[in-house]
């Protein structure tokens, strides 16, 4: 196995999109940032220097970070931020993961422009579990604001209201030729007739689930979130933010130009969203024709999403834990904080003089500011978190219906859930419709989990357990919770550290839709969290 050294300089860079030039935060002046290409088993050493004027951290989304939680990256969870002028070296090994993951800033809304792909080839000397493709490419879907994204979220935080939706979706940083001033820079993906391409699709958007398709071509899904799946063919993908999907595409159509396109899947009711379409062009050699536009599902086409999601199965038989040590039921959804009368109206611009909030089991997660959770756990620093995150909601109600206003107001807290090393954990993730039903791509750090089943309505332990796939459920790090529905996940807590589980819509994360699992060391030396690196940033 190799060791790859990289320097990441976080800096301000002039980026022009939609006829406007902004001072964007980038890595090494690149937007999107550099692609990291490795083999399974390799080690990455990434030296990050912060030359920007914001605090920053980098998260390696989906990388398991076995015993190296110090390199995971979420601000105030596993490290204090890298201050302007500071630096930090992330050191970790990719172990038993193959396919596509990605990296992104994990601080405020910096990941709007600070992100890149992680391409993980098979262990050296080993083949793909499918015929070797002729070409490989990476497609990163993103969101672009015609403004500084940090200002967008700061303004929303000040007023307590929802932030502006983005001004464009992007493919590899480019909005594409359906947007003003963008056609020159539209991304082109070249193919030759008869060839097969492995295309790694990543949803790096901040707040939007996305449909993805390529005109006239069949897409064969072979992997997701850094694990292989049983191949299946589909005309369209749906990815929640954080998710990746690897597809094989055969260039078997007339040599012409075809649009690659992505657009919102936004089934939440009454929630504003960006309804524009981003495009790139799939180009057969020498073709110059006008690109062919594919059909895309409607923004609320949940049936297409369900038909797609239910086809995911692990390539191999999966060692799903069948005996459980912890069975949790966690509700997730929006809410509001009613402002006390003395709060100025300009800080309470959510409906009826309130501020928006979001929570898990009615707890709105508060990030610490004087220490990371991991340092507090490792050094035994008191007062940073409490270990009373509830294993189930305090009250049960119809999670899919309108409920009384008293349920709308979560409590604040830095509440974590403790797990002994090796615990076998099941979590029922239940979406609520408090305030409004919404989509929630739920991401767990430090682990891949099996998705046993997903469904609509209130999870029913009597009947829904019959739907569990205990044979070959997909192994993922992010599950797109069905709207007004639930998903059941399982994992074995074999990675010591402190691991945030959160909604990967940045707007919901900022509102507190998160909790943290604190996993203790195991008895064997290789089951223990490593020592903190000497250059770990201080708070």
415: contact with ligand C2O by CB under 6 A: no
Cβ(209)–Cβ(264) below 8 Å: yes
Minimum CB distance to ligand C2O, residue 16 (Å): 27
User: From CA 69, how far away is CA 78, in angstroms rounded?
Assistant: 7
Site for ligand C2O in 87-106 (CB under 6 A): 104, 106
Q: Across the beta sheet with 354-360, what order do the strands follow?
A: 411-413, 363-365, 354-360, 326-338, 424-431, 485-492, 449-456, 475-476
Residue 536 CB contacts under 8 Å (≥ 6 apart), including other chains: 70, 79, 80, 88, 375
Cis amide linkage into residue 32, ω under 30° from 0:
yes
* Identity of the residue, 443 or 490, whose beta carbon is nearer to ligand C2O in the bound complex: 443
Residues numbered 264-293 forming contacts with ligand C2O, rule: CB under 6 A: none
Measured from the CB of residue 500, what is the shortest distance to ligand C2O in angstroms?
A: 6
**Which residues are CB-neighbours of 105 under 8 A, at least 6 positions away?**
10, 25, 56, 57, 58, 59, 111, 114, 115
Closer residue to ligand C2O, CB minimum distance, 107 or 182: 107
Residues β-bridged to residue 15: 22
How near is the Cβ of 195 to ligand C2O at its closest, in Å? 32
Tell me the closest approach of the beta carbon of residue 74 to ligand C2O, in angstroms.
5
Burial level of 406, CB count in 10 A (0-12/13-18/19+)? exposed
Identify the CA nearest to 242 among candidates 442, 37, 524.
442
Alpha-carbon span 501 to 119, nearest angstrom: 23
In the complex, minimum distance from the CB of residue 516 to ligand C2O, in angstroms, rounded to a whole number: 11
**Exposure string for 171-194, b = 16+ CB within 10 A, e = fewer:** bbbbbbbbbeebeeebbebebeee
Contact window for ligand C2O (CB under 6 A) among 92-100, 247-255, 418-426, 497-505: 497-505
- Interface residue with ligand C2O, options 44, 54, 57, 59 (CB under 6 A): 59
- When the beta carbons of 64 and 106 are compared against ligand C2O, the nearer one is 106
Token representation of residue 363: 């707890």
539, two tokens: 């708070």
Compare residues 101 and 150 and give the one whose CB is closer to ligand C2O: 101
Q: Of the candidates 32, 33, 41, 74, which one interacts with ligand C2O according to CB under 6 A?
A: 74
61 touches ligand C2O by CB under 6 A: yes
**Which secondary structure element, helix H or strand E, spans residue 101, and what is its range?**
strand 99-105
CB of 193 to ligand C2O, least distance (A): 37
Q: Which is nearer to ligand C2O, 281 or 500 (CB)?
A: 500
Closest separation in Å from C-beta 103 to ligand C2O: 9
Stretch that binds ligand C2O, among 217-225, 349-357, 398-406, 498-506 (CB under 6 A): 498-506
Looking at the Cβ atoms of 424 and 443, the one nearer to ligand C2O is: 443
441 and 243 Cβ atoms separated by less than 8 Å: yes
Q: Which is nearer to ligand C2O, 104 or 200 (CB)?
A: 104
Nearer to ligand C2O, 32 or 176 (CB): 32
Binning the chain into helix, strand and coil, the percentages to the nearest 5 are 10, 40, 50
Smallest distance, ligand C2O to C-beta of residue 211, A: 20
Residue at token pair 């001004």: 167
Stretch touching ligand C2O by CB under 6 A, among 139-147, 175-183, 357-365, 496-504: 496-504
Nearer to ligand C2O among residue 217 and residue 443 (C-beta):
443
- Of 128-136, 140-148, 351-359, 500-508, the segment contacting ligand C2O by CB under 6 A is 500-508
User: Closer CB to ligand C2O, residue 106 or residue 424?
Assistant: 106
Token output for 21: 């030039």
Strands 497-503, 440-444: pairing kind: antiparallel
Q: Residue 242, interface with ligand C2O (CB under 6 A)?
A: yes
- Nearer of residues 444 and 453 to ligand C2O, judged by Cβ: 444
- Name which of residues 105 to 164 contact ligand C2O (CB under 6 A): 106
Helices (H), 233-333: 302-309
Query: Which one among 377, 443, 484, 490 touches ligand C2O, defined by CB under 6 A?
Result: 443
Sequence-distant (≥ 6) Cβ neighbours of residue 524 within 8 angstroms: none
Q: How far is the CB of 444 from ligand C2O (least distance, A)?
A: 9
Three-class DSSP category at 69: helix
Helix (H, G, I), strand (E, B) or coil at 216: coil
- Min separation Cβ 149 and ligand C2O, Å: 16
Q: Per rule CB under 6 A, is residue 440 in the interface with ligand C2O?
A: no
Radius of gyration over every alpha carbon of the chain, rounded to an integer in angstroms: 22
Find the shortest distance in angstroms from Cβ 502 to ligand C2O: 6
399 versus 499: smaller Cβ distance to ligand C2O: 499
Phi-psi region of 383 (alpha: psi -120 to 50; beta: other; left: phi over 0): left
| Interatomic CA distance for residues 423 and 328, integer angstroms | 12
Residue choice 200, 424, 476, 502 for contact with ligand C2O (CB under 6 A): 502
131, two tokens: 């015929």
Q: Is 508 in the site for ligand C2O (CB under 6 A)?
A: no
SS3 state of residue 145: coil
By CB under 6 A, name the binding residues for ligand C2O.
59, 61, 74, 104, 106, 242, 443, 445, 500, 502, 504
């Amino acid at each position: 196995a190799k060791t790859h050294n990289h320097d990441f300089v976080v800096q301000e860079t002039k980026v022009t999109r939609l006829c406007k030039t902004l001072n964007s935060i980038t890595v090494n002046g690149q937007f999107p940032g550099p692609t990291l290409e490795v083999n399974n088993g390799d080690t990455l050493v990434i030296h990050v220097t912060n030359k920007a004027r914001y605090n920053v951290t980098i998260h390696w989304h989906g990388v398991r970070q076995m015993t190296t939680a110090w390199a995971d990256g979420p601000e105030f969870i596993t490290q204090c931020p890298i201050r302007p002028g500071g630096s930090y070296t992330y050191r970790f090994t990719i172990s038993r993961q193959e396919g596509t993951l990605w990296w992104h800033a994990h601080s405020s809304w910096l990941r709007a422009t600070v992100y890149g792909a992680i391409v993980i080839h098979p262990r050296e000397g080993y083949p793909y579990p499918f015929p070797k493709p002729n070409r490989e490419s990476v497609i990163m879907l993103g969101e672009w604001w015609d403004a500084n994204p940090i200002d967008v979220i700061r303004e929303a935080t000040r007023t307590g209201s929802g932030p502006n939706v983005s001004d464009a979706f992007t493919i590899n940083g480019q909005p594409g030729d359906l947007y003003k001033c963008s056609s020159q820079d539209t991304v082109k993906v070249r193919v030759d007739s008869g060839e097969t391409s492995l295309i790694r699709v990543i949803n790096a958007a901040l707040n939007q689930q996305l449909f993805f398709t390529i005109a006239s071509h069949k897409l064969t899904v072979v992997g997701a979130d850094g694990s292989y799946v049983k191949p299946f063919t589909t005309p369209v993908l749906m990815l929640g933010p954080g998710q990746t999907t690897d597809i094989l595409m055969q260039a078997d159509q007339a040599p012409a130009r075809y649009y690659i396109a992505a657009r919102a899947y936004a089934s939440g009711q009454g929630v504003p969203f960006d309804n524009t379409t981003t495009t790139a062009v799939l180009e057969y050699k020498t073709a110059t024709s006008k690109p062919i536009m594919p059909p895309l599902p409607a923004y609320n086409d949940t049936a297409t999403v369900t038909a797609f999601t239910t086809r995911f199965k692990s390539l191999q038989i999966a060692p799903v834990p069948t005996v459980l040590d912890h069975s949790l039921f966690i509700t997730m959804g929006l809410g509001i904080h009613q402002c006390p009368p003395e709060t100025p109206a300009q800080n309470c611009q959510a409906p009826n003089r309130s501020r928006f909030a979001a929570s898990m089991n009615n707890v709105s997660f508060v990030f610490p500011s004087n220490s990371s959770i991991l340092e507090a756990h490792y050094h035994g620093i008191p007062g940073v978190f409490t270990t009373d995150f509830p294993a189930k909601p305090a009250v049960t109600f119809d999670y899919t219906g309108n409920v009384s206003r008293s349920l709308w107001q979560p409590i604040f807290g830095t509440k974590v859930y403790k797990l002994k090393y090796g615990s076998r954990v099941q979590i029922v993730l239940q979406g609520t419709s408090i305030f409004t039903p919404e989509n929630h791509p739920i991401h767990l750090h430090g682990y891949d989990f099996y998705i046993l089943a997903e469904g609509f309505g209130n999870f029913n332990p009597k009947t829904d357990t019959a739907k569990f796939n205990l044979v070959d459920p997909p192994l993922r790090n992010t599950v797109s919770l069905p709207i007004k529905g639930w998903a059941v996940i399982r994992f074995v807590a074999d990675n010591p550290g402190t691991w945030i589980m959160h909604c990967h819509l940045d707007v919901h994360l900022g509102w507190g839709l998160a909790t943290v699992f604190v996993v203790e060391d195991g008895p064997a030396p290789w089951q223990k969290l490593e020592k903190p690196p000497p250059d770990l940033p201080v708070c």
